Amino acid sequence: MQDYKMLIGGEWVDAAAGETFESIDPYTGEVWARLPRGRAEDAARAVEAAEKAGRGEWSKLTATARGHVLRRFGDEIAAHADHLARIEVQDNGKLLAEMLAQVRYVPQWFYYFAGLADKLEGAVIPIDKANTFNFTRHEPLGVCIAITAWNSPLLLAAYKLAPGLAAGNTFVLKPSEFTSASALEMGRLAEKAGLPPGVLNIVTGFGAEVGEPLVTHPKVAKIAFTGSEMGGQRVYEAAARGLKRVTLELGGKSPNIVFDDANLDNAVKGVISGILSATGQTCVAGSRLLVQRSIHDAFLERVIAFAKTAKIGNPMLAGTQIGPVTTRPQYEKILHYIDVAKNEGARCVLGGGPAPHPEGGKGLFVQPTIFADVRNDMRIAQEEVFGPVLSVIPFEDEAEALAIANDSIYGLAAGVWTQNTNRVLRMSAGLKTGMVWVNMYRAVSYMSPFGGTKRSGVGSENGMSAIMDYVQTKSVWISTAEETPDPFVLG
């Protein structure tokens, strides 16, 4: 059993009330870590520490020096990536191969935004007034809150911390209550890298108990949130009362659209990657498979045949392709939606229930599940399952594919499989989603914006523009006139 403490103002502390909660390894089903159960008092201490750090040493560093610290932070994460990835697997049960790839990629966020830190240039504006000099400065917002989901703990944290710290802000990170350990381990690395105390605070606990007090704290300027639609709504409402800035990365019901002229070998792999990777527990899951009617039956057979070969097992082992479901509520939700789909009249052509425990595992497993004859107005096609459950919907032509794809309250991502270049351009313009992958699926980069439309979120992360979400642009006016003009007229 591993005992963890929280990081507040450069000190490793227990929750003020001394309470703890436990983290369960989703594969073994056993408790492996005990963490502080933070509440309002802890949230307040962390925000105060971040606010104080924002006035201290951190604010005196040049932007170039800030970039150096972030580069060292990236180096520390790179040096400890394997250890961090194993901790994440113990917490969320995702494949070690996936978590290794993610955590080894995380340093790139810090390197990229470290490079941008000293390129946040203001402008000298050729202002339309005589004897007046006007320029802009990009200043940090102050205290930012990063709240993350359990499926990709450090990656989602990096989306927020890297641009926000590069811009000179300070942070309180609240990782998911299911996957807090890797963030705390990362806190040690921040210290080693020379991040001044209080610049990055990490508090653990539950959304309602410590998350909400962070969001509502009057000294907080911005909240960057990744999580469920319901959690996002709560955060948005609370932030609105305090008139705070937000970035929200929420759920999805992304269409993966296969046309009859596609390279079908590749499309099958893309469909499987969209729905079975991470046991379907990914915001960008391609959970609606739209297939052109002319190839529908044959293509579906190929997807079923491929899905049948997926190896369920221990996520730590190299050969495993599908690991356990991360949490019991999530497991129950997936099984509930499988029942919903059956009751709605969707035809279950693969799986459709719990999977037996692989040897040694006591955790919660679900069979890869495919529903055919799904209509887009069914709940299984409209609501996010967050599990390995695919809904297959036929379409006639491009216009119908687009209409079905866009008939969703979500708009996170979409996949398009075709070899017709004109169609690629038409579809990528017509899809009302934040991301479109063509002849590929589920790729992310620190360089390219990531975010959704409609109920999938507000704003986006990654890419150069992300750093602008962490600054206030100040306009400075200087008169060079000998005499102040008429005080009763707008200047």
Which residue ranges make up the site for ligand NAD (CB under 6 A)? 147-151, 156, 174, 176-177, 206-208, 211-212, 215, 226-228, 231, 234-235, 249-252, 283, 384, 386, 412, 452, 457
Beta-strand pair 255-258/413-417: parallel
Q: Indicate the Cα dihedral angle 94, 99, 101, 106, nearest 10°.
A: 140
Closest contact distance (angstroms) between CB of 322 and ligand NAD is 18
Dihedral sign for Cα 443, 448, 451, 453, please: negative
- Please list, in sequence order, all residues whose beta carbon lies within 8 angstroms of the beta carbon of residue 162, skipping any fewer than 6 positions away: 70, 109, 110, 112, 113, 114, 446
Chain centroid, CA 60 distance in Å? 31
- 395 vs 441, which CB is nearer to ligand NAD? 441
- 113 vs 150, which CB is nearer to ligand NAD? 150
Q: 153-166 and 63-79 are packed helices; what angle lies between their axes, rounded to 10 degrees?
A: 160
Closest contact distance (angstroms) between CB of 31 and ligand NAD is 19
Starting at the edge strand found earlier in the chain, the sheet holding 124-125 runs: 124-125, 132-140, 471-479
Determine whether 283 is an active site residue: yes
For the record, the structure tokens of 294 come out as: 């002319």
- 67 vs 434, which CB is nearer to ligand NAD? 434
- 91 vs 177, which CB is nearer to ligand NAD? 177
Closest contact distance (angstroms) between CB of 393 and ligand NAD is 20
- 267 vs 385, which CB is nearer to ligand NAD? 385
Closest contact distance (angstroms) between CB of 214 and ligand NAD is 7
Closest contact distance (angstroms) between CB of 461 and ligand NAD is 7
- Please list, in sequence order, all residues whose beta carbon lies within 8 angstroms of the beta carbon of residue 281, skipping any fewer than 6 positions away: 92, 94, 151, 325, 326, 330, 386, 387
Burial of 291 (0-12, 13-18, 19+ CB in 10 A): buried
- 197 vs 227, which CB is nearer to ligand NAD? 227
Closest contact distance (angstroms) between CB of 154 and ligand NAD is 12
Q: Which ranges in 345-477 belong to alpha helices (H)?
A: 379-382, 398-406, 421-430
The SS3 of residue 174 is strand
Closest C-alpha to 462, from 473, 451, 475, 478: 451
- Please list, in sequence order, all residues whose beta carbon lies within 8 angstroms of the beta carbon of residue 484, skipping any fewer than 6 positions away: none
Closest contact distance (angstroms) between CB of 386 and ligand NAD is 5
The SS3 of residue 321 is coil
Closest contact distance (angstroms) between CB of 229 and ligand NAD is 6
Determine whether 249 is an active site residue: yes
Residue 474 belongs to what H/E stretch? strand 471-479
Q: Which of 48, 51, 76, 249 is catalytic?
A: 249
- 223 vs 471, which CB is nearer to ligand NAD? 223
Phi/psi for 12 (5° steps) reads: -95, 115
CA–CA gap between residue 468 and residue 116 (Å, rounded): 11
Q: Which of 48, 144, 283, 398 is catalytic?
A: 283
Say how many C-beta atoms besides its own lie within 10 A of residue 251's C-beta: 26
- 142 vs 227, which CB is nearer to ligand NAD? 227
Closest contact distance (angstroms) between CB of 226 and ligand NAD is 5
Which residues are 135's β-sheet partners?
124, 476
Task: Decide if 344 contacts 380 (C-beta within 8 A).
Answer: yes
For the record, the structure tokens of 440 come out as: 């590929």
Which residues are 479's β-sheet partners?
132
- 50 vs 215, which CB is nearer to ligand NAD? 215
Active site amino acids: 249, 283
